[in-house]
Amino acid sequence: MNRNVTIIVIILIIVLLAAYLVWLRGRFIATQTPSPEPQASVIVSPSLSPSPSASASASPSGSPKASPSASAVATAKPKSASPSATPR
């Protein structure tokens, strides 16, 4: 009779241990899954976009007036004497 009781106690301990591990696994998996976060819904409403229009200053009023001497002065490079450029 003692032998039968020992076997039953061992089986019960194994069953209880297996049940605890299954319960623990269920709790661990439940904490790992992310909860669905509420997503903000974006409602796009049509907006009025500005239409391109020409202003009075954008109309051509003739040829541009630029003096040729101003452009010549701007493109001319000042000459400077460098030590390598002097003849020996």
pLDDT tens per residue, range 26-50: 888 777 656 566 677 777 777 777 6
Residue with token string 């409403």: 45
Record the pTM: 0.35
CA–CA separation, 15 vs 19, rounded Å? 6
* Cα angle for residues 66, 69, 75 (degrees, 5° grid): 100
Local structure of residue 58 (DSSP, 8 states): G
Per-residue model confidence (pLDDT) at position 17: 98
**Who wins on pLDDT, 27 or 81?**
27
Percent of the chain whose predicted confidence (pLDDT) is above 70: 47
Give the burial class of 37: count Cβ atoms within 10 A of its Cβ; 0-12 exposed, 13-18 middle, 19 or more buried.
exposed
